Structure 1
Amino acid sequence: MTTTAALDVPIDTDVISSTIHTDGIIGCKSAFSREWVEQLREDVEVAFEEARSREGGAVGRGPHRYYVEIHPEALRGFVDLVDHPWVRAVCETVLGPDYTIVEVGFDIPFAGAVNQPWHRDFPSPRETLEEKRLTSLAFNVTCVDTAEDMGPFEVAPGTHWDTGEDFEHGMFPPKSAYSRYEELAVRKYPQRGDVSARSALTVHRGTQNHSEKARPVLVLGVDAPGAGNDEKHDLAVTRALWDRLPERVRRHLSCPVVEELTPITQKHTIEGLVMGEA
């Protein structure tokens, strides 16, 4: 990997903690070089073509919108990402020193993708409801420079603390509540090299892609001990990769170490996203 993969960025754990606690999302500008992101985009495009070539390789998240889970080896820059100082600092600050990487994948809204319903990625766990403690994070790395017409990601800051007691399946707020989320909504326009981290409980949606361009975004899922989201994923690494990984990365992977990888059949289907916003 190039020496320009990770760039020096300011790290303030107090700011990380307070921003995630208050907003449920935080971003870091220019964490990676644009050259590194171009390589990431190449890897994502290759992985998408492979996934689309077999049944269950890609799952719909709305019209013209797909999600694909991949193994770390599909990304030449996997270690650069998970060992980036800012990424590590966010994980340790929010989830504690024994966090676990549970998911690597990407989301691609193509031309014609429509507004998703407002949603969170899974129901709020007891630790969040009762202890006000977050047990998971989703990191996003855009593969392109996001423009207004490309269906930007939209998030409602602070909604990670919503109980979700009236959410369908604990994930989808009733349409009667949409006006609140639209009032809170902030659209994000990350550029190549930027990375963000959010609580998977922060209510969000992808918006309509009016352009002719795809907007691929890498997703890295990380858990606090006992969160249990690894059960929804099939992360694995080969022995050859495991032996090359820095110890600092290995201790945050609890996935199987295998001689040969099996292509992933996506398990984390979110039925409420398949049709888009009605």
Structure 2
Amino acid sequence: MGAPVGGADQQPGQGGGDRLGQRRHQRHHPHPRTPSCARRGRSCRTRRSGSAPAPAGTPEHLPAREARSRPDGAVGRGPERWYVEIHPEQLRGFVDLVTHPWVVAVCRAVLGPDYEIVELGFDIPFPGAAMQPWHRDFPMPEDTRRQRRLTSLAFNLTTVDTVEEMGPFEIAPGTQWDDGRDFDHEMFPPKERYPRYERRAVRKYPRRGDISARSALTIHRGTPNVSSLARPVLVLGVDAPGAGNAGHHDMAVTRGYWASLPELVRAHLPCPVVDTLVPIRQKHTIEGLVMGAE
């Protein structure tokens, strides 16, 4: 977790303005401001008061087990590693999260005032999860390649206090600008470049209540979970207008839930309003992650 929002080539810890985990904005700050790290396209993380949201009434890893029992309910991200999408009203605290002043400020600063919430799910490395290959989550958009403009963000919230044995998220800061046209599927860099990513690599050890924002273009990987515990991470995906990632997801809300939402949420939630929710059939598979690293 804790990947950079933008193009910081500096390793966290080498400069006060680039240290992830040092830029923290309390949930109830009376005058929330756009973090300077977001304006510069640098690394950002925040500490929330309270713990990360969880699906009402269930531990965070149970949705994955239920989802794996139905077609396209869960997608594999490697051995013992699953991704499960949910609808907003299935998450206790969804409104608190998407109206958090820091989340709103970062979305506006990076993606513009008309940003769109398009994805909500859990990435869950279970005990036995293997090392992933270095990768980005999708090919670089042309707007990013030509204009160095990010068109999407992923916010991550851990549901456990992360320790080394759980297989922390590992990221190579600054690599969101790597062109990637010669990557396998434009997502998986050749192995001869691994030493560069390993020199830049930073492992993240967030605690419950932390939020991180990153570009999914930044080269990253999951590391082996050798503990006896799952490490669920909530993922909130947000697009700039026209980015197109909503087509990979089927998020919806019921009419009653939609009517209960504040305008700040409805203005940024371009999903169908339905009478009854149906389980999400997932579309965003990443074939290169299924077997783990060789």
> TM-score, normalising length from structure 1?
0.92
How much does 1:48 deviate? Answer: 2.4
SS at match of 1:205: strand
CA contact (8 A) 1:47 1:74 kept: no
1:44 aligns with 2:60: yes
List per-residue Cα deviations over 1:20-73 (Å, max 9, x = no partner). x24xx42112x1403x54667936334223312312211110000000011111
CA contact (8 A) 2:123 2:234 kept: yes
What is the number of residues matched between the two proteins?
A: 267
1:214 aligns with 2:230: yes
Equivalent positions of 1:46-195 (< 5 A) are 46-195=62-211
CA contact (8 A) 2:152 2:239 kept: yes
SS at match of 2:118: strand
Rate the CA distance shift 1:117–1:188 in 2: closer, same or farther, 3 A.
same
1:17 aligns with 2:39: yes
CA contact (8 A) 2:239 2:245 kept: yes
Provide the C-alpha distance between the structure 2 equivalents of 1:193 and 1:213, rounded to a whole number of angstroms: 18
Provide the C-alpha distance between the structure 1 equivalents of 2:167 and 2:86, rounded to a whole number of angstroms: 23
Provide the C-alpha distance between the structure 2 equivalents of 1:17 and 1:179, rounded to a whole number of angstroms: 30
Rate the CA distance shift 1:256–1:12 in 2: closer, same or farther, 3 A.
closer
SS at match of 1:50: helix
Provide the C-alpha distance between the structure 2 equivalents of 1:41 and 1:113, rounded to a whole number of angstroms: 26
Query: Would you tell me which structure has more helix in proportion to its own residues?
Result: 1
CA contact (8 A) 2:53 2:94 kept: no
State the 4+ residue runs in structure 1 displaced beyond 6 angstroms.
38-41
2:84 partner amino acid: V
CA contact (8 A) 1:239 1:257 kept: yes
Rate the CA distance shift 1:54–1:64 in 2: closer, same or farther, 3 A.
same
CA contact (8 A) 1:137 1:199 kept: yes
> TM-score, normalising length from structure 2?
0.87
Provide the C-alpha distance between the structure 1 equivalents of 2:28 and 2:281, rounded to a whole number of angstroms: 37
SS at match of 2:164: coil
How much does 1:271 deviate? Answer: 0.2
SS at match of 2:206: coil
Which one of the candidate residues 270, 273, 276 is aligned to 2:289? 273
RMSD (CA atoms): 1.7
CA contact (8 A) 1:43 1:75 kept: no
Rate the CA distance shift 1:257–1:270 in 2: closer, same or farther, 3 A.
same
Identity, % of aligned positions: 64
CA contact (8 A) 2:169 2:204 kept: yes
How much does 1:156 deviate? Answer: 0.4
1:199 aligns with 2:215: yes
CA contact (8 A) 2:251 2:272 kept: yes
Q: Counterpart of 1:27?
A: 45
CA contact (8 A) 2:61 2:230 kept: no
CA contact (8 A) 1:7 1:33 kept: no
Rate the CA distance shift 1:43–1:222 in 2: closer, same or farther, 3 A.
farther
Provide the C-alpha distance between the structure 2 equivalents of 1:108 and 1:154, rounded to a whole number of angstroms: 15
Q: Counterpart of 1:247?
A: 263
Provide the C-alpha distance between the structure 1 equivalents of 2:229 and 2:62, rounded to a whole number of angstroms: 17
CA contact (8 A) 2:54 2:60 kept: no
SS at match of 2:134: coil
Q: Where does the alignment leave 5 or more consecutive residues of structure 2 unmatched?
A: 1-25
How much does 1:76 deviate? Answer: 1.5
Q: Counterpart of 1:3?
A: none
CA contact (8 A) 2:157 2:233 kept: yes
Provide the C-alpha distance between the structure 2 equivalents of 1:43 and 1:238, rounded to a whole number of angstroms: 23
